[in-house]
Chain A
Amino acid sequence: MTSVINDNILDQEPVEITGSEAVIRSLIAEGVDTIFGYPGGAIMPVYDALHDHHHNLKHVLTRHEQGAVHAAQGYARVSGKVGVCIATSGPGATNLITGIADALIDSTPLVCITGQVISSLLGTDAFQESDVIGITMPITKWNYQITCAEEIPEAIAKAFYIASTGRPGPVLLDITKDAQFAKVLYSYSKCTKIRSYVPEYPADKLLLQKAADLINNSKKPYLLYGQGVMLSGGEEELISFLNKTGIPAAGTLLGLSAIPTDHPLNMGMLGMHGNYGPNIKTNQCDVLIAVGMRFDDRVTGTVGTYAKQAKVIHIEIDPAEIDKNVKSHVALIGDAKHTLKSLFALVNENNHPEWLAEFEEARVIEEEKVIKNDLAPLKAGLTMGEVVRMTSILTDNRAIVVTDVGQNQMAAARYTKFEDSRSWVTSGGLGTMGFGLPAAMGAKLGAPDREVVIFTGDGGMQMTLQELGTIAQENLAVKIVILNNHFLGMVRQWQELFFEKRYSYTEILSPDFVKLADAYGIPGCLVENREDLEGEMKKMLDHKGPYLLEVHIEKEDNCFPMVPQGKSVAEIILSADELK
């Protein structure tokens, strides 16, 4: 029987098709329009089925499976949809691992589909067999091996439901080749409930009131927002809550862009390289409201001295995060959007001018000691900060900013100004170097109408630079800015500050990136002087397709402020002199 290609995928009449055709139809039924992948032996039947569906399911051929998974992450983060990637068995599947682990810790919804050897060969060390289910167990929200075609529609429905509900996360489906070939009487229905899984809990009215009482009686309330705000679509609710209560707020690294940078109550960023005020005020507030965040150690510094004076209200959808790192006085288990909405009705209108003035004082200190040097440096060498800020200015704060990991990431986090939500794609929890470039191409496909700029370093760029090939083939208008300081900058900074300047293997030789881009047919330019920056950056942004801008940065510049590891947020330093 030749397989019937039916555009009306949700046709309820069961039809007999192959397992691989069922995979594709199920993806389309879930509203998937773009997938990232790399073919290979054990996934070939699915690729064969894809061939018939190229008109309604775009497949992007990356240059490495790691590129596929990071691209799916970038796509998911900006679009709010589930990112999908696909790989073959064995090495194809193991190449996805870094991205899956990254997506788990950063709560990114992914469905990863891997081919597997035919089921009779499982456990025989067959060609390209690896125990992908076993390997991905600790880094997936759920995973499942499909060994017969009948399981495919239901497993895919469950995968999308699990990946996208509750605290989102990555799901992996491992499909044996014989299941892809076999025939199945196909019909599709979405998954809406799993009895052993509660994605969200109803609000507890007593606890809501208790939280509201704490907030209403607080003199120095302080709100921390994380990515949970965006994941729940609670941006408006957060802004309304802040406006009503007059509470100052600061974001975690992943929470950036949930509210506009210039919102009068947005005090900046938390964490190791976050802003001065937001860090020190954590240990001075009387009520700390944490919304959709998990108190990562990069946020808390040494946890034993973190916000001990404050009553902590923790709004969080994942019950396992409650009291994990920081004990809460009131835990509101639920998504940020609904909880903030419920809390809004119970809190009083208020303002806190004196408390805000304290933040302003701290901001002035940081401006004087750090920001001025980063944005208007007196020295000849360019800083990462000025390049980042120039980009914000030239894009009216409207670009999606993607980063790699390290100094480039921290500079981008500190100096990008955001206007719109879901405009920030970075690897936070896992800190995956090489994440940036592929995530940026996913972001561009997830938000094709928006400007996508990626800041990466000379180190991280070389970890996944093969994806320039994908960008060229798909003509993805990704604007690549390489902040090249000829070092693995963040590690070098730590070596300078904490390892007596013993630069052990952090000086790195790079290719001529502009020439490299040229080899892929991607135009580019090298900027070495400050006076060329604005003009060249404008050229980059005006260019219709992909573009690479390499900027030579002062070689041994450091990223400050900094909460040194093992120190309290109150012990944040503004320069290296404070370490002496």
Chain B
Amino acid sequence: MKQEYIITAYSENHIGLLNRITIIFTRRKVNIESLTVSQSALKGISKFTIVVNETTDKVVNIVKQIDKQIEVLKAFYNTNDEMIFQEVALYKVPTKALMDSDQIEKMIRSHNARILEITSEYTVIEKTGHEEETQALFEGLNTFGVLQFIRSGRIAITRSPVERLSEFLKQRDSLFEKLEEGSKI
């Protein structure tokens, strides 16, 4: 059964790695629902957050293939309820619509959104939340005519107290030490 998974991968910040990772999905005809890449807490290490709607078997297979890339430090996968995640959305509405009634203002309050910029022509509103939440605000605002709308890819963080990567890097250091000592047998 397909469900939404969040794949997280930590990698060296190298040219071409994004392509190496996305072709793993392309080859299996798996659609990427959202993709975010940015520098992680550790300098020089990038973090990929990829959302897919797939079966567990396929996700496991994909994560192993990502992990196999030389410059990937580690890849994980989680279901939505195992992570805290957010997206950010920006909406541009005509300022006139904002002025004509208090409806938009009420909407901004009830959705916990905020205004980033107001000009005489347009107003830019920002809202963070899950896709359903940013979408709900879009539906509401669109009754007044949204001029432009953009939603970011998902970012996510685990519910465990420490960054998995630093834990993982520690483990890897001891693994390398072990291998160097030739203690593998």
Contact = CB atoms under 8 A, between A and B. Distances in A.
Counting contact residues on chain A (CB < 8 A from B), the size range is 20 to 34
A193 interface: yes
Interface string A181-216: 000000000000111111011110000000000000
18 contacts: A134-B16, A134-B19, A137-B23, A141-B70, A143-B16, A195-B172, A196-B11, A196-B70, A196-B73, A198-B176, A200-B184, A202-B178, A202-B183, A320-B67, A320-B68, A323-B60, A324-B64, A338-B184
A242 interface: no
Interface in A131-163: 133-134, 137-138, 141-143, 145, 162
B126 interface: no
A194 B70 CA distance: 8
B107 interface: no
Interface of B: 11-12, 15-16, 19-20, 23, 27, 60-61, 64-65, 67-68, 70-73, 172, 175-176, 178-179, 183-185
Contact of B176 (A133, A134, A141, A193): A193
Contact of A319 (B27, B64, B175, B183): B64
Nearest to A339: B185
Contact of A203 (B15, B23, B67, B184): B184
Contacts of B68: 318-320
Interface string A328-339: 000000100010
A202 B60 contact: no
A176 B96 CA distance: 57
A201 B16 contact: no
A338 B185 contact: yes
Contacts of B65: 320
Contacts of A195: 73, 172, 176
A506 interface: no
Nearest to B65: A320
A341 interface: yes
Nearest to B173: A195
Pick from B11, B71, B178 the residue with the most CB of A within 10 Å: B71
Given A145-B15, A201-B175, 13 more contacts: A137-B23, A138-B27, A141-B70, A194-B70, A195-B73, A195-B172, A197-B70, A198-B175, A201-B184, A318-B68, A320-B68, A322-B64, A334-B184
Contacts of B184: 200-203, 334, 338
A421 interface: no
Top-4 shortest CB links A-B = A320-B64, A202-B184, A142-B70, A196-B73
A466 interface: no
B114 to A, nearest CB: 39
A193 B172 CA distance: 12
Nearest to A143: B16
Interface of A: 133-134, 137-138, 141-143, 145, 162, 193-198, 200-203, 318-320, 322-324, 334, 338, 341-342
Contacts of B71: 142, 196-197
Nearest to B184: A202
A202 B181 CA distance: 11
B175 A324 contact: no
A318 B65 CA distance: 10
A313 B40 CA distance: 38
Contacts of A324: 61, 64
Pick from A141, A197, A338 the residue with the most CB of B within 10 Å: A197
A319 B19 contact: no
Contact of B179 (A142, A145, A200): A200
A201 B16 CA distance: 27
Main secondary structure of the interface of B (DSSP, over half): helix
Nearest to B61: A324
A188 to B, nearest CB: 21
Contacts of B185: 203, 338, 341-342
A201 B175 CA distance: 8
A430 to B, nearest CB: 15
Pick from B11, B16, B175, B185 the residue with the most CB of A within 10 Å: B185
A138 B68 CA distance: 12
Nearest to B21: A137
Given A137-B23, A338-B185, A162 B172 contact: no
A195 B177 CA distance: 12
A133 B172 contact: no
Given A193-B176, A196-B12, A202-B175, A319 B23 contact: no
Contacts of A142: 70-71
Nearest to A193: B176
A143 B17 CA distance: 10
Contacts of A341: 185
Contacts of A201: 175, 184
A137 B20 contact: yes
A117 B178 CA distance: 44
A149 B72 CA distance: 26
B55 to A, nearest CB: 14
A490 B15 CA distance: 43
Contacts of B20: 137
A323 B65 CA distance: 13
A206 to B, nearest CB: 15
Given A137-B16, A195-B172, A202 B179 contact: yes
Pick from B27, B68, B172 the residue with the most CB of A within 10 Å: B68
A147 to B, nearest CB: 10
Contacts of A133: 16
A48 B73 CA distance: 39
Contacts of B178: 202
B23 to A, nearest CB: 5
A320 B70 CA distance: 13
Nearest to B176: A193
Contacts of A319: 64, 67-68
A202 B185 CA distance: 7
A194 B176 CA distance: 10
A148 to B, nearest CB: 14
A198 B60 contact: no
Contacts of A200: 179, 184
A203 B183 CA distance: 9
A450 to B, nearest CB: 32
Pick from B65, B67, B178, B184 the residue with the most CB of A within 10 Å: B184
A317 to B, nearest CB: 11
A203 B178 CA distance: 11
Nearest to B181: A202
A295 B72 CA distance: 25
Contacts of A145: 15
B179 A137 contact: no
Contacts of A334: 184
